[in-house]
């Protein structure tokens, strides 16, 4: 198994450096087969990939020494419905059933994997689904090649309780966690609780001038967060969340309401803190 993982990684990296070809195809049991696992015993079995209409396209193993190994369509007149970059990474994830997310310092290992799985509660498909030892849904993975997860789908995922990760074909080892409302809300509660604990401790222990400014900044940041967070999906919905939020804050800063005042206060306090530290 270890040898398979190592050879799979090196093979994938080789294809990302040169012309991308199909490294996997499905057999009659609907299981992805890696080209390095093709031998005289299984070379002439039926292998396929799907067209953009969902039809099975027969794939032929091409093996000309170590440098020429890939699957190709039996007929040049048909085309696979998914790019080789996209499909290779999906198949690799289904084959290995594990990955590491640096964002969370989390190793994920599945008992079973399935591609093109529908999340029933939100009626959305993920490229890869992992299942645990009890065959319960563990997490989903979105593979991103040319287009990122579209806004509508990302919003549905974010408002669900599903654990979803995404990975880019140009960085197949870099997994990003896609937050959902439940986890994000609890995380923000922990942050706010941390702020409150620090402020309460400062009242007991006594604080210096720079710490006072910092606590005011944190408190105003918390108020600002409560002000703009519910509106994050109502502005610039074609942009990414961070870009949308940034543009919304710029517009809000120019208003005379509480939100604009909070942003201006935060900028002022940040400058004061920076000036305080540079004069010490």
Average pLDDT value over all residues in the chain: 78
**Residue 20: per-residue pLDDT:** 77
- Contact predicate 126/140, CB 8 Å: yes
User: Which residues, listed in sequence order, are joined to residue 113 by a DSSP beta bridge?
Assistant: 130
124-131 β-sheet, strand order: 112-119, 124-131, 137-144, 164-168, 171-178
163 or 261, which is more confident: 163
Q: Is the pLDDT of residue 251 over 60?
A: yes
Give the integer Cα–Cα distance in Å for 6 and 3. 5
**Residue 37: per-residue pLDDT:** 92
- What is the pTM assigned to this prediction? 0.63
Q: What is the CB neighbour count within 10 angstroms for residue 100? A: 13
Pairing of strands 164-168, 171-178: antiparallel
Which of 14, 126, 121 is closest to 69 using CA atoms?
14
pLDDT digits (tens, 9 = 90+) for 153-187: 888 888 888 889 999 998 888 898 887 777 767 76
**Residue 207: per-residue pLDDT:** 61
């Amino acid at each position: 198994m270890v040898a398979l993982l190592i050879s799979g990684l090196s093979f994938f990296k080789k294809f990302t450096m040169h012309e991308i070809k199909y490294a996997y195809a499905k057999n009659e049991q609907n299981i992805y087969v890696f080209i390095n696992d093709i031998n005289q015993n299984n070379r002439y079995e039926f292998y396929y990939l799907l067209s953009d209409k969902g039809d099975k396209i027969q794939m032929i193993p091409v093996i000309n020494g170590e440098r020429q190994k890939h699957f190709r369509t039996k007929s040049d007149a048909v085309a696979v419905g998914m790019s080789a970059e996209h499909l290779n990474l999906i198949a690799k994830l289904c084959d290995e059933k594990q990955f590491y997310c640096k964002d969370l310092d989390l190793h994920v290992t599945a008992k079973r994997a399935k591609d093109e799985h529908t999340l029933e509660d939100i009626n959305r498909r993920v490229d890869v689904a992992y299942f645990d030892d009890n065959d319960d849904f563990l997490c989903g993975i979105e593979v991103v090649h040319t287009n990122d997860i579209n806004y509508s789908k990302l919003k549905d995922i974010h408002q669900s309780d599903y654990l979803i990760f995404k990975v880019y074909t140009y960085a197949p080892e870099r997994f990003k966690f896609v937050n959902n409302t439940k986890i994000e809300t609890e995380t923000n509660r922990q942050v706010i609780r941390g702020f409150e604990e620090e402020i309460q401790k400062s009242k007991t222990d006594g604080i210096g001038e720079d710490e006072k400014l910092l606590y005011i900044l944190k408190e105003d940041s918390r108020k600002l967060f409560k002000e703009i967070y519910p509106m994050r999906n109502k502005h610039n919905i074609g942009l990414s969340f961070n870009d949308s939020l940034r543009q919304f804050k710029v517009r809000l800063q120019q208003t005379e309401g509480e939100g604009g005042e909070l942003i201006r206060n935060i900028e002022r306090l940040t400058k004061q803190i920076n000036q305080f530290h540079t004069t010490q």
